[in-house]
């Protein structure tokens, strides 16, 4: 919580004959994040070389490629396959030897058949296109070829051709363009070509066919239809094969992928003639089990030691360490950036505050229920891990939206049968206008400013906490901490100064005190002093930071979006209700008529379309603005990010077991 998983850096050294055993054990545990070995000329690395893959890596890889090629031609993907029983490794290995060649042969034959059919269809299609222009010509096509003393021209022309040589021509219209077949004596061919060129002649090859064009076209069309049917049949057989073998294929894939990864692991280790050294990271609480298992598997013929590391400057792989509640929010963190090893992990904070912001913006029982149903439904449909996490975030947010909806007394823009508690967001639209008293806009704006002030102050304190952890005691640390204190002092100084001049709702009223100096009362002076000390503190860390001073105000005001975006969503909902119900449906219900039914139906359409639109806007508005307040306003105060993801060597097995 608030801190990523603590890691241990392990060094495993053993003789090469233990390599296979150790790699197997590491893979099975799925815990060891391997630090890739890089060859270097430095003295301490002398004699170490990148290892060679274990024997048999090549064969397994080529088997895997064969399996993947069948998978891709069948269109099998591991994400789609659900299995009831996992395959045993030994049996699977035997099956790969005995059954897979048969499956492969069958699949290849089917694919081959399908490809050849498709090629024929394509060929026939081309011939058909060639024949098309000749459709109007009723003679036999073979009669246009094989002349000794004549030349035949066929092609498109833009106008009728004025031949000044003896000729026999035939015109027809194809695709709104004139098509010409002309026969000219060979000795006049040159002149005829000139005339044709003038008429914009584009030659078309005469098809190599016998019989009339019409008959041939008919034949090809029928053939293509027949072949297409055959292709469908083959596709059906491929699909049947896919259904039959999908589970087997994905299991083989998993088994062989694991095998290949294991066999290639030494490529990431440092090796000498007789030994190898593997370096990597393990979560600290799982270290013991891993070490003892490796030791017992090798019969003690291994040397494992824990290395020292610098948590600030060394690149430690990052694994989140969150309670179940905030696990989904890790997806939101990953979109921005993983935390660094030594810094505060704000995931839990985001997990709590994000839904509150979302609910404050989209506080409506109706929309909340819609989004809740949507997130639960999509959660069942979607398979990807990141998508599921985001949907869980949406689920939490929509629960918060329902709670705020109860407080705001809102259901799809209608009022619930009780008055809003504390804050009224009902606008004076339609029927509501009569009830008078509009929304508490000023109250909401100031409340959101308060939220901003607290959130940003917290962010600055977290920066101090990070600085305390990152820097050793000394000048650097003091500067950083003082700088952050300066920002807090300046912000609150501005607040005190404001309060001493203006009485604002839900803020302390400090105006009633006598003025001491230059019209400032005691709190005004306090505020001014705080601002001065604050600015000096900021400047001592870095003078350029003073350029950022206006962000104190703009970032706090940015939280006004909590009120503003929420009100706009209420406004859209109420306008939709006003249009659909008060203007379209209600008057028709009062004086019923046949035409009225059309209006009522129209009203229902407006109601549905309006609320669907507003739900979509609600997700965008509520979600994006809430997360933006975190990313831009909150995180820029303390969060660095850029941590490297923890990717343990191994794989969660889905389809196979030992």
Partner 1 sequence: MAVEVMTVEVAEATAKGLVAIGAGLAVGLTGLATSIAQFSIGAAAVGATAENKDMFGLGLLFTVLPETIVIFGLVVALLLLF
172 binds partner 1 (CB under 8 A): no
d(CA 392, CA 328): 6
Only one of the segments 65-73, 133-141, 530-538, 558-566 lies at the binding site for partner 1 (rule: CB under 8 A); that segment is 558-566
DSSP state of 511: T
Q: Alpha carbon of 245 to those of 64, 68, 149, 638: distances in Å?
A: 16, 13, 65, 53
d(CA 618, CA 568): 10
d(CA 433, CA 428): 4
215 binds partner 1 (CB under 8 A): no
Q: CB-based burial of residue 285 (10 Å sphere; 0-12 exposed, 13-18 middle, 19+ buried)?
A: exposed
DSSP state of 646: -
Q: Which of 215, 374, 416, 567 binds partner 1 (CB under 8 A)?
A: 567
# residues near partner 1 by CB under 8 A: 21
d(CA 379, CA 388): 6
For residue 258, what are its two tokens? Answer: 């694991």
Per-residue interface string for the shown chain with partner 1, residues 415-444, x marking contact by CB under 8 A: -----------------------xx-xx--
Q: Which of 31, 391, 445, 494 binds partner 1 (CB under 8 A)?
A: 445
Residue closer to partner 1 (CB basis): 129 or 632:
632
**Does residue 9 contact residue 306 with C-beta atoms inside 8 Å?**
yes
Q: Alpha carbon of 249 to those of 82, 102, 355: distances in Å?
A: 12, 13, 42
| Closest separation in Å from C-beta 104 to partner 1 | 35
207 binds partner 1 (CB under 8 A): no
| Closest separation in Å from C-beta 36 to partner 1 | 19
Q: CB-based burial of residue 416 (10 Å sphere; 0-12 exposed, 13-18 middle, 19+ buried)?
A: middle
Would you mind telling me the total number of residues written for the chain in this entry? 658
Q: Which of 66, 68, 628, 651 binds partner 1 (CB under 8 A)?
A: 628
158 binds partner 1 (CB under 8 A): no
Residue closer to partner 1 (CB basis): 197 or 442:
442
Per-residue interface string for the shown chain with partner 1, residues 503-542, x marking contact by CB under 8 A: ----------------------------------------
| Closest separation in Å from C-beta 525 to partner 1 | 29
Q: Which of 108, 129, 289, 335 binds partner 1 (CB under 8 A)?
A: 335
**Does residue 459 contact residue 445 with C-beta atoms inside 8 Å?**
no
Residue closer to partner 1 (CB basis): 392 or 633:
633
Q: At 275, is the secondary structure helix, strand, or coil? A: strand
4-30 burial, b for 16+ CB within 10 Å, e for fewer? bbebbbbebbbebebbebbbebbbbbe
336 binds partner 1 (CB under 8 A): yes
Q: Which of 108, 608, 624, 657 binds partner 1 (CB under 8 A)?
A: 624
**Does residue 569 contact residue 362 with C-beta atoms inside 8 Å?**
yes
Edge to edge, what strands does the sheet with 177-185 contain?
168-174, 177-185, 150-157, 202-203
Q: Which of 11, 64, 227, 564 binds partner 1 (CB under 8 A)?
A: 564
632 binds partner 1 (CB under 8 A): yes
| Closest separation in Å from C-beta 217 to partner 1 | 46
Residue closer to partner 1 (CB basis): 103 or 552:
552
| Closest separation in Å from C-beta 628 to partner 1 | 5
Residues 6+ apart with CB under 8 A from 607: 576, 577, 580, 581
φ and ψ at residue 505, rounded to 5 degrees? -60, 150
Cα-Cα-Cα-Cα torsion 618, 619, 620, 626, nearest 10 degrees, comes to 100
140 binds partner 1 (CB under 8 A): no
Residue closer to partner 1 (CB basis): 368 or 452:
452
Q: At 62, is the secondary structure helix, strand, or coil? A: helix
d(CA 601, CA 606): 9
Only one of the segments 179-187, 268-276, 282-290, 332-340 lies at the binding site for partner 1 (rule: CB under 8 A); that segment is 332-340
387 binds partner 1 (CB under 8 A): no
Q: Which of 396, 401, 558, 577 binds partner 1 (CB under 8 A)?
A: 558
| Closest separation in Å from C-beta 275 to partner 1 | 37
Residue closer to partner 1 (CB basis): 68 or 628:
628
Only one of the segments 45-53, 237-245, 498-506, 552-560 lies at the binding site for partner 1 (rule: CB under 8 A); that segment is 552-560
Only one of the segments 59-67, 99-107, 555-563, 601-609 lies at the binding site for partner 1 (rule: CB under 8 A); that segment is 555-563
Only one of the segments 101-109, 333-341, 359-367, 451-459 lies at the binding site for partner 1 (rule: CB under 8 A); that segment is 333-341
Judged by the rule CB under 8 A, the positions of this chain that interact with partner 1 are: 335-337, 438-439, 441-442, 445, 554, 557-558, 560-561, 563-564, 567-568, 624, 628, 631-632
């Amino acid at each position: 919580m608030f801190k990523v998983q603590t890691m241990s850096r392990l060094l495993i050294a053993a003789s090469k004959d233990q390599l296979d055993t150790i790699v197997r054990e590491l893979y099975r545990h799925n815990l060891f994040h391997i630090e890739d070995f890089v060859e270097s000329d430095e003295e301490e690395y002398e004699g170490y070389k990148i290892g060679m893959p274990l024997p048999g890596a090549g064969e397994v890889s080529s088997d895997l490629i064969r399996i993947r090629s069948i998978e891709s031609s069948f269109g099998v993907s591991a994400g789609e396959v659900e299995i009831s029983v996992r395959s045993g490794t030994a049996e699977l290995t035997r099956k790969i030897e005995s059954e897979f060649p048969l499956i492969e042969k069958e699949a290849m034959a089917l694919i081959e058949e399908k490809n050849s059919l498709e090629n024929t269809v394509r060929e026939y299609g081309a011939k058909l296109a060639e024949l098309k222009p000749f459709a109007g010509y009723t003679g036999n096509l073979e009669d246009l070829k094989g002349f000794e003393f004549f030349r035949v021209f066929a092609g498109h022309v833009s106008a009728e051709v004025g031949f000044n040589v003896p000729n026999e021509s035939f015109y027809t219209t194809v695709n709104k363009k004139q098509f010409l077949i002309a026969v000219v004596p060979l000795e006049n061919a040159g002149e005829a070509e000139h005339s044709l060129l003038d008429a914009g002649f584009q030659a078309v090859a005469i098809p190599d066919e016998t019989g009339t064009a019409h008959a041939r076209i008919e034949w090809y069309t029928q053939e293509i239809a027949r072949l297409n049917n055959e292709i469908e049949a083959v596709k059906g057989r491929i699909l049947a094969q896919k259904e039959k073998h999908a589970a087997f294929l994905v299991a083989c894939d998993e088994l062989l992928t694991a095998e290949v990864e294991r066999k290639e692991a030494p490529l990431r280790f440092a090796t000498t003639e007789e030994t190898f050294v593997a370096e990597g990271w393990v979560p600290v609480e799982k270290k013991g089990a891993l070490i003892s298992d490796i030791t017992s598997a090798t019969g003690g013929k291994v040397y494992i030691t824990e290395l020292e590391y610098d948590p600030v400057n060394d690149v430690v792989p990052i694994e989140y360490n969150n309670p179940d509640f905030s696990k989904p929010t890790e997806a939101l963190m990953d979109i921005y950036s993983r935390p660094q090893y030594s810094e505060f992990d704000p995931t839990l904070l985001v997990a709590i505050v994000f839904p509150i912001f979302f609910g404050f913006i989209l506080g409506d029982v109706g929309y909340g229920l819609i989004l809740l149903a949507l997130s639960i439904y999509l959660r069942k449909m979607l398979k990807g891990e990141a998508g599921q996490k985001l949907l869980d975030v949406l689920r939490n947010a929509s629960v918060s939206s329902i709670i705020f909806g109860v407080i705001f007394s809102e259901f799809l823009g209608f009022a619930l049968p009780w008055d809003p508690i504390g804050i009224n967001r009902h606008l004076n639209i339609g029927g509501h206008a009569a009830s008078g008293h509009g929304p508490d806009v000023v109250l909401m704006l100031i409340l959101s400013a308060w939220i901003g002030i607290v959130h940003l102050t917290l962010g600055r304190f977290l920066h101090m906490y990070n600085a305390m952890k990152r820097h050793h005691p000394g000048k650097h640390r003091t500067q950083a901490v003082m700088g952050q204190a300066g920002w807090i002092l300046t912000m609150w100084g501005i607040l005190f100064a404001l309060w001493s001049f203006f009485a604002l709702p839900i803020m302390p009223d400090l105006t009633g005190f006598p003025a001491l100096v230059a019209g400032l009362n005691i709190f005004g002076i306090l505020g001014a002093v705080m601002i001065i000390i604050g600015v000096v503190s900021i400047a001592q860390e870095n003078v350029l930071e003073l350029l950022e001073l206006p962000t104190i105000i703009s970032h706090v005001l940015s939280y006004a979006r909590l009120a503003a975006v929420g009100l706009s969503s209420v406004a859209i909902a109420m306008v939709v209700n006003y249009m659909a119900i008060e203007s379209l449906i209600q008057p028709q219900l009062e004086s019923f008529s046949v035409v009225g039914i059309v209006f009522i139906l129209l009203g229902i359409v407006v109601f549905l379309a309006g609320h669907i639109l507003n739900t979509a806007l609600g997700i965008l508005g509520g979600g994006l603005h809430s997360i933006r307040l975190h990313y831009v306003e909150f995180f820029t105060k303390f969060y660095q990010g850029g941590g490297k993801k923890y990717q343990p060597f191994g794989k969660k097995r889905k389809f196979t077991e030992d």
